[in-house]
Amino acid sequence: MSKTDFGPSIKSRPVYGVLSPRPGSSHLIVADGEGGAAVEALFAQAPEMKAKAHLIYIPGANGTDMSTAMAALGAGQYNRAPTYASVRSRIVKVLGDGHMGLQVYATGTESLMGQVQRDAMEAGLPHDAVQTEHRGSLARRVQCVHCKGITENVTTDPFVCSHCGLNLFVRDHYSRRLAAFQGVNIDAEDPGEVPPAEERFK
Amino acid sequence: MSLDDFFHDETFFGDYTFKNSPRAIKRFPFPFPEDDYMYSVNMEPHVPGRPGSVFEHTFDVDEHYVAEMRDRARVLRDDPLRCQSLPHMTLAGWDLLELIMESFARDYPQWFSLTKSGNQWHWINRPLNIDQKFTFLDESTLPCGPMEYITRQAQGDFTLQDQRNDNLWIEAGMVTTQADWSLDFDIGMSFHEWHAPVPKAHEMGVFDRALKFLLQLQHGAPVRRFNWTMTVDPLLDTSPENYPKWGPGKTTLTKENIGQRQHLRVELQTLFRLPRSNAIAFPIRCYLCSFEDLVTQPKWARRLHRVVRDLPDELATYKGFIRNRPLMVDYLSQFDDGAPTSPGWWPDE
């Protein structure tokens, strides 16, 4: 499973790196889908961090489920969650309880990494305190600029807002605070004239 | 002249009764000093300009003041997220309140007055019928936060930028007269992040130079620049939030109505370093003028035709008028005899 090579980045899009072990009193690791492979690589570099690691794994919306392998890695605490929304309160508590020396790692989809960064910032950590590594799907989390609802796992452009039903195109504009790209109505000027959806964010 | 004679009773929505007087047309800040247009940092000191011009005072209060403030209140009733301030920006809000109140009271004593006894301030705004006593720097003595309070009484949008880590962060704003950008989405972003959707300019280095310049901005030495776009009907609130409501209007322009309905939208952008917070205040003042009013100035008619005709497609698309450009060029060409235009943007006398 290879790392993703993004094209030239838009200016508001975060830049992702490669997870590397940092010395710390504890490690919060959040992964989804193919991000499990980055966790395996991280632990292979520094097996001693496992005992102090709290690993949260969410199977990918694209069907990738590495939870059997994740459970077997030997993390001090392991939790498998169905969605980020379901596990968010747990992550917020761990971030809030974290002592100096807590290291945070997020890997998998942009949506997952963006939400971990957002919650870490809200907990008072600087946004670059979270190490990130992109793996797997390019699916985007997109906020409808009209109704403000967020649609998860957007793979096509345009797409239909899961809240208000408008046809949206994905503007190359990303908010770290919302951990989302911006979706804008594509047929406002010509209602019903919607170009065919293309799979842009597989 | 009584207040009612100077300030128009007009709307920027629905029946669109907005209209520029002959005086307002003459002083319209036409943004093109030359016959073509490309991005540039184009900043100059914001110093008092010609008497009667929009540069005469620090803030221009014009015949549309009362109606624009009513329109702002309407937009905020519909969508309170247009005014937001992150918690650490309150001091910058007080800085802005002070800047606006002092400027208004100094430049328009017939309409505004500010008297101070220590931190006990007394503000009178006659056009809007406001008489407010409050304690400067004490939020509990105003009906809302200081930025919201004063920007409900000042034309134009306002954003406040915090400065840290050699960057500017847009962390408060009152945004109801915007050219298609969302404060709610952009709040919290760095300078390059909130400008991300602008085509070409990043590659040209415009934002790197502008940021470098602004980080050095000094208190007492404000600067200004123009920006511009096109708007069908005199609608101040061209927000992305409401785009499904106003977008369809663009499809109803015709040869017959374009003169009245197509407006050149000019932003006079000024930047002020604030004294206590070290934040930067960014007022974005919007002026609208219909094509039929603009072409009453022969120099502007010629030049606007040339600028609109020759603008790169990418910019016409970004500015949202690519679909109507042929109609616009067709209309404006009637007023362009090919004669040379004089330098600068002032109308010929």
Cβ-based contacts of A150 with chain B (< 8 Å): none
pLDDT tens figures, B104-145: 999 999 999 999 999 999 999 999 999 999 999 999 999 999
From chain A, the residues in CB contact with B197 under 8 A are 171-173
Chain B residues within an 8 Å CB radius of A186: none
CATH of the domain at A76: 3.40.50.80
What number is the average pLDDT over the span A192-197? 94
Count chain A–chain B contacts defined by CB atoms under 8 A: 65
Shortest CB distance from B185 goes to which of A13, A143, A166?
A143
Q: Would you call A12 and B194 a contact, using CB atoms and an 8 Å cutoff?
A: yes
Band of pLDDT at residue A7, cut at 50, 70 and 90: low
pLDDT at residue A119 above 50? Answer: yes
Residue B154 binned pLDDT confidence (cut-offs 50, 70, 90): very high
Please determine, for residue B309, whether its predicted confidence score (pLDDT) is greater than 90: yes
What domain range includes position A37? 26-134
Asked whether residue A12 is domain-assigned, the answer is no
Residues A130 and A56 in one domain: yes
In a domain, A14, yes or no: no
CB of B182 less than 8 A from some CB of A? yes
**Contact at CB, B189 and A12, closer than 8 angstroms:** yes
Q: Do A122 and A153 lie in a common domain?
A: no
Alpha-carbon distance B184 to B191, whole Å? Answer: 15
Interface list for B 231-250 with A (CB within 8 A) = 240-244, 247-248, 250
Average pLDDT, chain B: 95
Q: Supply the pLDDT for residue B205.
A: 87
Q: For B22-40, write each residue's pLDDT tens digit.
A: 999 999 999 999 888 877 7
In this structure, is residue B141 part of a structural domain? no
Flag whether pLDDT at A12 surpasses 80. no
Please list every residue in chain A whose beta carbon sits closer than 8 Å to the beta carbon of residue B243: 145-146, 184-185, 188
> Nearest residue of B to residue A147 by CA position?
B241
Specify whether A35 is located in the same domain as A96.
Answer: yes
What would the pLDDT profile of A82-111 be if each residue is shown by its tens digit?
999 999 999 999 999 887 789 999 999 999
Query: Could you report the predicted ipTM of this complex, rounded to two decimals?
Result: 0.90
Domain hosting residue B245, numbered range: 24-61+68-85+150-333
- Helix/strand/coil (H, E, C) string of chain B? CCHHHHCCCCCCCCCCCCCCCHHHHHCCCCCCCCCCCCCCCCCEECCCCCCCCCCCCCCCCCCCHHHHHHHHHHHHHHCHHHEEECHHHHHHHHHHHHHHHHHHHHHCCCCEEEEEECCEEEEEECCCCEEEEEECCCHHHCCCCHHHHHHCCCCCEEEEEEEECCEEEEEEEECCCCECCCHHHHCCCEHHHHCCCCCCCCCCCHHHHHHHHHHCCCCCCCEEEEEEEEEECCCCCECCCCHHHHHHHHHHCCCCCHHHHEEEEEEEEEEEECCCCCCEEEEEEEEEEEHHHHCCCHHHHHHHHHHHHHCCHHHHHHCCCHHHHHHHHHHHHCCCCCCCCCCCCCCCC
In a domain, A172, yes or no: yes
- Percent of chain A past pLDDT 70, that is, above it, reads 94
Is A4 a member of any domain? no
> Where residue A1 falls among pLDDT bands split at 50, 70, 90?
very low
Residues of B that are catalytic: 225
Mean pLDDT value across residues B328-336? 98
pLDDT digits (tens, 9 = 90+) for B190-237: 999 999 888 778 888 889 999 999 999 999 999 999 999 999 999 999
Mean pLDDT within A54-79: 96
**Residue B251 Cα, gap to closest chain A Cα (Å):** 6
Nearest-CA distance from B197 to chain A in Å? 6
pLDDT score, position B200: 79
Cα pseudo-dihedral A123, A124, A126, A130, rounded to 10: -30
Chosen domain end from A91, A113, A134: A134
Take residue B94 and report the two structure tokens written for it: 């007080």
Q: Do A10 and B196 touch (CB under 8 A)?
A: yes
Mean pLDDT of B252-259: 97
A3 has pLDDT over 70: no
Do A36 and A77 lie in a common domain? yes
